[in-house]
Every structure is written in C-alpha cells, then in structure tokens.
Amino acid sequence: MVKNRFKLVIFDCDGVLVDSEPIINRIFAETLTEAGFPITYAEVTQKFIGKSLKTCLEIIEASYKKPLPKNFVELCKEREIAPLQQELQPVSGITEILEQITLPKCVASNSSHRHIQMVLKLTGLLDKFEIL
C-alpha cells in the first residue's frame, strides 16, 4: 500500500477556482473611463495582468499625470458586486475535483480574505473548504 506523501492541497482562487478577473477588469476599465482616465478592457487586461491593485493605480496616475479620485477603489468595489453576483461561475470541472479530494484543502491568493469568501460563496464553493 502506498502511503500518501501529501498532507494538504493549496488552490489559487482566481483562474483555478473562479475567474472573477474578466468581470473585475471590465468594471475597472469602465470606472476609470468614467472618471476621466480613458482605457479599454483590452488595455486593462494587457497592462495590469498579475499586478497588485496598488501598482495598477500608481501606473494609471503616472500615465495620465493626475491623481485618481479619492473614492475610486471604493467605487470599483461597490460596482463589482452586482456583476459578480450575476455572472461569476466556478471554473469548469472544479466542483467535481474538490469533491474527490480527500486531503485537507485551502485557498491561497493575493486577493483579500473578504473577496475570496465572497467569490467562493457566490459560486457555491465556500462549503468545499473549512473556514478557520
């Protein structure tokens, strides 16, 4: 009998469990454009992939040579909620995979704990992980 040498399975959130980035990037581009920082969805996905929000905001302010509105991040977060609720789905096949794994599992992400819990709850995946 082969003893399992693994003790834990760690999942990234975006792109592995859910894919909220297309929705968030779309809202980000729309909100930037409305605030006087015209940018397309394609430009957002190309310029900011893999970068932290802080870095993205710094790049935008440097590129446009003006500061973003003080409430910009809060406005984006507020505007993301409805589209995430309506459109977000688990990555194809991940629910079945999670149900088959008998080892302890957790989520690691650069996203906030609040965001992780929200997207996992919206997609029905939250109950696949123990919340500590």
pLDDT tens by residue, 91-113:
999 999 999 999 999 998 888 88
Residue 85 near residue 122 (C-beta atoms within 8 A)? yes
CA distance 112 to 8: 21
Looking at the structure, tell me whether residues 31 and 8 fall in a common domain: no
Residues whose CB is less than 8 angstroms from the CB of residue 3 and which lie 6 or more positions away in sequence, other chains included: none
Q: What are the tens digits of pLDDT across the range 18-68? A: 999 899 999 999 999 999 999 999 999 999 987 888 999 999 999 999 999
- Give residue for tokens 């302010």: 61
Q: What are the tens digits of pLDDT across the range 119-129? A: 999 999 999 98
CA distance 36 to 33: 5
| pTM, full prediction | 0.82
In this prediction, residue 90 carries a pLDDT of 96
Looking at the structure, tell me whether residues 70 and 93 fall in a common domain: no
What residue numbers bound the domain in which 107 lies? Answer: 1-19+88-132
What tokens were used for 119?
Answer: 């997207």
